[in-house]
Amino acid sequence: MSTGARIRSARFLAASTGLRIVLTPVVMALLLADGSHPQTAADVAAALFAVAAATDWFDGRLARRWGVTTSFGSFLDTTADKLLVSGGLVALLAVDRVSPWIAMIIIGRELVIMGLRSVLAAQGTVLTPSPLAKVKTTVQFLAIGLAIVRPDVTIAGHWLDQWAMLVAAAITVASAADYLARSASALSTGSAPRR
């Protein structure tokens, strides 16, 4: 791929990631809107959330195919994912569509792993995403999307999206444990920066 083509590809991927960031507050606003047609707002929010989540799926694959992966691009992509998930959960929490405990587990995990990445980066170590982390993101997106539309399906007295959130929370905890286990040796041997 020529230099010009690489630049155009990188700009396209950056725009796609930027779209995910821009759509986050739009989805939140639609969920929080107290209008006369809340279901319509929720349907539009779900559609935009699906578009935003889809850009994450395409970004990574296209970046690897085109060979334009960079540290900054990876950081921006990960940040966009965390903003979309956290923003969606905060809005769902405000409209009583998600348990505060599940929201805390998922958002708390993101903060812990961001801190872990920072500590390891200060030591010159890069914490690469694990396959479990990619599954975690997909399941989180699915659970949030279901919670936005809340299909009229119940299992054992709970909504389908509530079960999906439980699965997402479980995978989130497992992913955090995986990251901590993988980085334990680096944390114990390295000298973490002092505050």
Domain boundaries, the chain: 3-189
pLDDT mean across residues, the chain = 86
CA distances from 168 to 39, 102, 112, 142 (A): 24, 9, 17, 9
The CATH number assigned to the domain with range 3-189 reads 1.20.120.1760
Q: What percent of the chain has pLDDT over 70?
A: 84
Number of residues that this document lists for the chain: 195
| Residue 119 to residue 22: CA distance in whole angstroms | 28
Beta-bridge partners for 155:
158
pLDDT for 124 equals 78
Mean pLDDT of 141-169: 96
What is the model's pTM?
0.87
| Band of residue 192 on the pLDDT scale cut at 50, 70, 90 | very low
Give residue 128's pLDDT band: very low, low, confident or very high (50, 70, 90). confident
82: tokens are: 């965390």
pLDDT computed for residue 195 by the predictor: 40
- Tell me, what DSSP letter sits at residue 98? S
Cross-strand pairs, 158:
155
For residue 166, the Cα-to-chain-centroid distance in whole angstroms is: 16
Q: State the CB neighbour count (10 A cutoff) for residue 184.
A: 10
Q: Do residues 67 and 1 make contact, with C-beta atoms less than 8 angstroms apart?
A: yes
